Structure 1
Amino acid sequence: MSEWLVLTIAMAAAGAVVVAVVLLSHRRRAAAAGDDPKGPEEIEEVETPDVLEYMTMMVGVVYAIVLGLAIAGVWEARGSAQADVQREAQALHEISQRATVLPRDAREELREDIDAYVSHVVRTEWKHMIEQEELTQRGDELLAEIREDIALRTPTNELEAQTYQPMLERVSVVSDARTTRAENAASTLPGVVWFGLIIGALVTVGLIFTMRMGRSGRELLLAGLFSALIAFLLFMVWDFDAPFGRSGTDTAEVFEQLFPGAV
């Protein structure tokens, strides 16, 4: 099921539930007013206390702040994860370019190992990383082969000697970025934060019913749109809570751009 379909269903369900509850509550009040000796007109004159309106406003403001901080946190975490992926792919690309000074056999072997690593990362490891929140042992082995291609070969001339150390440094950058990618594979927000976001959403939406909404079509529409907005924002937090996405390899696009032949 695509993420857009999940979002549409969540927003429609949230709005429908709130509208249905408001309508049922309104009908129940109307039925009670018809049976009351005071008559329906006097029942409808009951107004929401000012204190309740103030408390509702304060709860909404506090929840909006918390929700905004959560969105900012997961957005920053995703941006940081993408920067590390860019660093990993760029370092591999630089190694492949610097290999030009090597003899043909050594150059082709190194580039083949780099392509094998990139292919494994995009086609196999990325899906495993998203589902299991960890990297594969095979990826570590392929990176080790790249390091051996450089470290175990003695430079034969001055030009190779000049590129030897920079290439090893690029391998270290790839290894460091890979380690950071493994650390970022897990969800950003802890469970207690999700508990607070969900409970806060239920409380905030539930306060709609204390305001006697549903007495007009505009109020009913507002209640539905407000609940749909809360559902949309929670979905946004949930989607961004996975730094590398929930499915697919869209976040690995930089590898595909720099190594089109490998993937």
Structure 2
Amino acid sequence: MVLGILIGAIFVGATIALTLACYFLMRWMSGNEHESHERDLASSVVFRVSAMHGLILALVFAQEMFSYQQLRLQTATEANAIADIYFDAGRYGDTEKVNIQKELSDYVRVVIEKEWRGLGETNRLSPEAWAQWDESYRAILDLVPTNPRQQSLRGHMLDRIYLVSESRTKRESTVADALNGIFWFAAISGVIFIAVAYYSYPPTHRNIILISLFGAYTGVILFLIYAFSNPYIQPAELSPGPFLRLLEQIAALPPPGQTAPQ
């Protein structure tokens, strides 16, 4: 929380400073006397650049917010698929369930303790988590159904383990396809062009406040876009809540190989 506030303050402060610096630099370069037609032209430029700049920020913000919400949904989908496999393994048979449930429990722990944070730092899935997924997959493939019930359970577990793999790939794409420098170039250029176009307005107390408010609000939007672009780290870190709740649910059950007391 503190880190998020600090980063947000840096974004807002830097954008205000950039806006005022560009405004005063243009005032100094153009002199203090400005004809009325200059102000009309500057107003026209501000209007057009502001419209394009606002549209770019709005579209990118909406895209990042959508990706953030999709990750939340995808995480819940993956955790639900793992839970389905875990409990279907218990329905399959007391002997066969032991290995599958152990591998799934280890997989969830690796995702929580290593992979989640690692995605924010390296933008890549953990090889260890993939290895645990592969062990779970192999354990399901090794099942030899002896009746229609077991055959149905095995087919369902295979469908779920494929869904886990698909969800993992989508989790990685959330950060692997993050914003590049082109967006930040366009965003910062827009701030500079708009601030420069305000040069024809005198630096009165009220005008300075209004220009600063423009810079501050733009800084807030840029901060939010930056925060949502990587949901695995601060300041907008998304908790692996579905995995944590699943691990708590598994921990409350008897260990694999044991049955609940009657």
On whether the aligned pair clears a TM of 0.5, the verdict is: yes
Asked if residue 64 in structure 1 is aligned to residue 54 in structure 2, the reply is: yes
Partner in structure 2 of residue 190 of structure 1: 180
* 1:187 Cα deviation from its structure 2 partner: 4.1
* 1:245 Cα deviation from its structure 2 partner: 4.2
Partner in structure 1 of residue 151 of structure 2: 161
Unmatched segments (≥5 aa) in structure 2: 252-262
Specify the structure having the higher radius of gyration (Cα). Answer: 1
Unmatched segments (≥5 aa) in structure 1: 34-42
Moved more, 110-119 or 194-203: 194-203
Moved more, 100-109 or 51-60: 100-109
237 and 55 in structure 1: CA distance in 2 versus 1, 3 angstrom threshold: same
* 1:170 Cα deviation from its structure 2 partner: 0.6
Counterpart among 73, 79, 83 of residue 69 in structure 2: 79
Q: Is the 8 A contact 2:175 2:229 kept in 1?
A: no
Partner in structure 1 of residue 255 of structure 2: none
Counterpart Cα distance in 1 of 2:45 and 2:181? 27
Query: 1:40-189 alignment to 2 at 5 Å?
Result: 47=36, 48-189=38-179
* 1:22 Cα deviation from its structure 2 partner: 6.1
Q: Is the 8 A contact 1:85 1:252 kept in 2?
A: yes
Aligned length: 248
Moved more, 154-163 or 220-229: 154-163
* 1:212 Cα deviation from its structure 2 partner: 2.0
Moved more, 162-171 or 241-250: 241-250
164 and 25 in structure 1: CA distance in 2 versus 1, 3 angstrom threshold: closer
Return the letter of the residue paired with 2:49: V
Counterpart among 211, 230, 236 of residue 242 in structure 1: 230
Say what the alpha-carbon RMSD is for the aligned residues. Answer: 2.9
Counterpart Cα distance in 2 of 1:248 and 1:12? 19
Structure 1 residues 146-204: Cα deviation after superposition (integer angstroms, max 9, x where no partner): 11221102124443222111111111111121122233331422332222122122222
Moved more, 172-181 or 154-163: 154-163
Q: Percent identity?
A: 22
Moved more, 251-260 or 11-20: 11-20
Partner in structure 1 of residue 15 of structure 2: 14
Return the letter of the residue paired with 1:140: W
Moved more, 226-235 or 81-90: 81-90
* 1:117 Cα deviation from its structure 2 partner: 0.2
TM-score, length-scaled by structure 2: 0.82
Return the letter of the residue paired with 2:135: E
Q: Is the 8 A contact 2:79 2:246 kept in 1?
A: yes
The 4+ residue runs of structure 1 with deviation greater than 3 A are 16-26, 45-48, 243-249
* 1:96 Cα deviation from its structure 2 partner: 1.3
